[in-house]
Structure 1
Amino acid sequence: MNQSAFVSPHKKELLANRYQLKQLIGRGGMGEVFLAEDILLGGTPVAIKFLSQTFVNPKIQKDFAREARTSAALSQKSLHIVRAYDYGVSAEGKPFYVMEYLNGRSLKDLIPIPLPRFLTLARQICLGLQCAHQGINIDGKIYPLVHRDIKPANILVVPDQILGQLVKILDFGIAKFLNYAVTASTNKGFNGTLPYSSPEQLEGEELDSRSDIYSLGVMMFEMLTGVKPWKPETDLFGAWYKAHHFEVPKAIAEVNPQLQLPQQINDLIMSCLAKAPSDRPQSMTAILQVLNSLEKPSYAILPNSLSSKTAPNIPLGSELLLAIEKKCGQFVWPRNKPIQEIVFPQLIDTPQGNIAALWLMLPKQEIQKRVLSKRHNQFIFITSPYPMLLWVTLLYNRELEPRWLPCYLDMQNPQNHQLVSSLAENERYPLICFTLETPNSCTNVISSYVDPTQRQMLKVWVEQSKQLPPSSQLQLSKQLLKQQYQQMQSRILRHLASIPDRTLQGIGEAVRSWGLPK
């Protein structure tokens, strides 16, 4: 466990011999949050939260360490839970934990929000809670986690190039620890947020996931209306105890008559607010089924390989790609690659320099159809627990099933630094198409455009990868990227489906000149 004195952000001492505090960026009931720099990672920004209570009891400090490790393990499983990196206890007994720094806004500051945005954010919140409630494996045993303090102030909304807005849940496991620590220290006290606490939480009972579902119901009501389901005479414990135990929540239609709310959402929120846990939805899965059935497209994708706005202005040729075209007949399928429908990235040497390319093998007939497809690409980078880049290319045609070409790049591998640097330097990359049928020859080269914004980010990610410490958790990062990849597929398809046919036709005519002699 790290032992370090709490220091003012105006002093030069390092916290845990590693973190330089810069400024206070948040304060709440649980403690204070500082922006800091991780000196060991070249000044990478992080957020450090100091809990409000001071604990000198060694057992409580040990329990905090266990809770922090559990929360950190959970944060590696879901994109919708703020990533936790480190923890410690200061010389004064103040527990702290280190988490990713995110430049977002609290959900509390965005309320009320329109229905389409509500559906997007509520779904992501539920995905994070679902992951926690399903539990994490510790020494072969599954431990479900309950948040115990779900409220708008504990939900961060961050701009995201794929989802438009990415939800991050804060303070997982911390409410449980503080409640335990206060009880252990004083043998009394309630720790939580009264307007969002379930009836069983106010009673001090052992909680399960259905308590979080109740708090979620309060928050969803507030997200849509801007007010809470009850308005007690005071904010004291007794008034909220009465409201949660005995008072019927307001009707959403009465609070906001102009809100055209689907009946399924109204019924869902009211069922979450049931007094008895057995009368609420019994899992986040049940809630997600309702939200998934109603969610409409509400997303933003940064400039990419193809949009109705940029496609007509993209020049087709370049010296590098023309050189690749001339070499098509010379390309031979690598002996170390199986003869099957696969895709892999590879650098190609040309007289003009190296260029990153995708090599793919498909049936000859499909290649002939795919050369007229829309092309779309997306890049997703993750730094922790292991630096990895997901490079996705999509060949899209309204008459065919979408052909996804994902490549996961280990960004601890210097060869991949060179590959991604090439992507960043060139406005397009080629797709080298080989036939599945013998003699497995290269028959076509098509290209995909990389937007300048994407190329700039690729440069940043390469440099960031070079500065990160070694890690061994490659598979965990790959799992996290797969989760985000699965979430973005339907949104990308809806985006491409919205592009007019005339744009697709113009692109097809341009691509046709890339078809090479057999």
Structure 2
Amino acid sequence: MWRREKILGNGGSAIVYLATVVSPPRSNELLPSLMATKSAPVNNCQLLSIERELLSQFEGCPHILRCFGDDVAVEDGEQWYNILFEYATGGSLADPIQSYGSGLLETEVRQYTNSVLLGLSYIRNKGCVHCDIKPHNKLLVDEKDDLSLVLNGKMNMVQERTAKITDLGLVKKAGESLTEKGRKLGIRGTTLYMAPESIRHEDYEPEVDIWALGCMILELLTGKEPWKCDRNTERVTILFKIASTQEIPEILSGFSEEVEDFLKKCLVRDPKSRWTADMLLGHPFVLAADGVFTGSIREERNRVVHPKTA
């Protein structure tokens, strides 16, 4: 049905490949010609199978990377468990930062923030917490708009790039205790984006995703990690700073007032004082996202060149 191609990424529990469809699927569901498959040997696929179970809770959300199902394939005598996803042609939000070493434009960040917030709102309304929000697992998918434009006599489709949430392997139910046989299972997530309460008390509620979102947006704007550190900085040093001081990631001057205020609503050490995803969707910084995109379409409409009639 599909063939494995080049490696797109390599994580601790699975390998992500580009995949091409070589024959129609047995089911009635149509698959795109290009997909991404997240794969692990069957004898080491526990985390991947958990992620597949979690994905079933979020089917239908356009701001979470779409899953086409799973299967088991035999390659070179070894069984592999695979989850099939839509292919993100734009890579991750971390890619442009790593490639150019600089931040993105506010207009870009605003649009991506709007998309991620809609995904976080959906996750929260399902009673869950993502627990690992960061640029590396926000993938850019090109969405075709249904508005066709005639430019210089040629038909063109308006495309909008959507940042979709992926890597749901650490998702947990809000209010659920991370314990096993009376003991805590330890902190989860990526150090630089962890909220103070998740380190101090191993407490994971929707507010931790908002703190991580603030760290992510700051990194997208500056091109630098939210906490100052170098290769020699030990992880425990960063964890101590986040958990046991009153510091927050530095919000540099030079951004618009809307950006600064938005970040201050996210990077609040007291989780009860942080804004929720739904509240942030009403913030001026995010509300401008629709206006920016609509404005670009209006500009294109004004530049439409209608072909001459005979």
TM bucket, shorter chain:
0.7 to 0.9
| Pairs aligned (count) | 273
Residue 41 of structure 1 aligns to a residue whose secondary structure is coil
Structure 2 CA distance for aligned equivalents of residues 302 and 37 of structure 1: 33
> 1:201 deviation in Å?
2.7
Structure 1 CA distance for aligned equivalents of residues 286 and 297 of structure 2: 24
Aligned to 1:69: 53
Which sections of structure 1, spanning at least 5 residues, go unmatched?
1-17, 136-143, 318-518
Query: Contact 1:164/1:299 (CA < 8 Å) preserved in 2?
Result: no
| Structure 1 pair 266–94 and aligned structure 2 pair: CA distance change class (3 A) | farther
Q: Residue by residue, what CA displacement relative to the aligned partner does 1:430-471 show, whole Å, maximum 9, x if unpaired?
A: xxxxxxxxxxxxxxxxxxxxxxxxxxxxxxxxxxxxxxxxxx
Residue 228 of structure 1 aligns to a residue whose secondary structure is coil
Q: Does 1:285 align with 2:278?
A: yes
> 1:164 deviation in Å?
2.8
Q: Does 1:175 align with 2:164?
A: no
> 1:176 deviation in Å?
3.7
Aligned to 1:231: 228
Structure 2 CA distance for aligned equivalents of residues 28 and 266 of structure 1: 33
Q: After TM superposition, list the pairs within 5 Å mapping 1:497-516 onto structure 2.
A: none
Q: Does 1:154 align with 2:137?
A: yes
Aligned to 1:44: 33
> 1:247 deviation in Å?
4.7
| Worse overlay, 22-31 or 35-44 | 35-44
Q: After TM superposition, list the pairs within 5 Å mapping 1:19-58 onto structure 2.
A: 19-41=2-24, 44-50=33-39, 55=44
Q: After TM superposition, list the pairs within 5 Å mapping 1:31-430 onto structure 2.
A: 31-41=14-24, 44-50=33-39, 55=44, 61=46, 65=49, 67-76=51-60, 78-88=61-71, 95-111=81-97, 112-135=103-126, 144-162=127-145, 164-172=160-168, 174-176=169-171, 190-203=187-200, 205-232=202-229, 234-245=232-243, 246-253=245-252, 257=253, 259-262=254-257, 264-281=258-275, 283-290=276-283, 291-295=285-289, 296-298=291-293, 307-311=301-305, 313-316=306-309
Relative contact order, higher structure (CA 8 A, sep 6+):
2
Query: Contact 2:248/2:269 (CA < 8 Å) preserved in 1?
Result: no
> 1:226 deviation in Å?
1.6
| Structure 1 pair 294–307 and aligned structure 2 pair: CA distance change class (3 A) | closer
> 1:157 deviation in Å?
2.0
Query: Contact 1:55/1:94 (CA < 8 Å) preserved in 2?
Result: no
Structure 2 CA distance for aligned equivalents of residues 248 and 230 of structure 1: 10
| Structure 1 pair 114–239 and aligned structure 2 pair: CA distance change class (3 A) | same
> 1:252 deviation in Å?
2.3
| Structure 1 pair 128–250 and aligned structure 2 pair: CA distance change class (3 A) | closer
Structure 1 CA distance for aligned equivalents of residues 200 and 2 of structure 2: 40
Residue 289 of structure 1 aligns to a residue whose secondary structure is coil
> 1:273 deviation in Å?
1.6
Structure 2 CA distance for aligned equivalents of residues 53 and 175 of structure 1: 20
Structure 1 CA distance for aligned equivalents of residues 268 and 79 of structure 2: 40
Cα RMSD of the aligned pairs, angstroms, is: 3.6
| Structure 1 pair 105–200 and aligned structure 2 pair: CA distance change class (3 A) | same
> 1:44 deviation in Å?
2.6
Residue 292 of structure 2 aligns to a residue whose secondary structure is coil
Q: Residue by residue, what CA displacement relative to the aligned partner does 1:155-175 show, whole Å, maximum 9, x if unpaired?
A: 112334436322111112x12
> 1:223 deviation in Å?
1.4
Residue 105 of structure 1 aligns to a residue whose secondary structure is coil
> 1:131 deviation in Å?
1.2
| Structure 1 pair 198–260 and aligned structure 2 pair: CA distance change class (3 A) | closer
> 1:195 deviation in Å?
0.6
Query: Contact 1:159/1:165 (CA < 8 Å) preserved in 2?
Result: yes
Query: Contact 1:216/1:272 (CA < 8 Å) preserved in 2?
Result: yes
Q: TM-score scaled by structure 1?
A: 0.46
Which sections of structure 2, spanning at least 5 residues, go unmatched?
26-31, 98-102, 146-158
Q: TM-score scaled by structure 2?
A: 0.73
Q: Residue by residue, what CA displacement relative to the aligned partner does 1:482-503 show, whole Å, maximum 9, x if unpaired?
A: xxxxxxxxxxxxxxxxxxxxxx
> 1:65 deviation in Å?
4.4
Structure 2 CA distance for aligned equivalents of residues 149 and 190 of structure 1: 11
**Structure 1 counterpart of 2:121, one-letter code:** Q
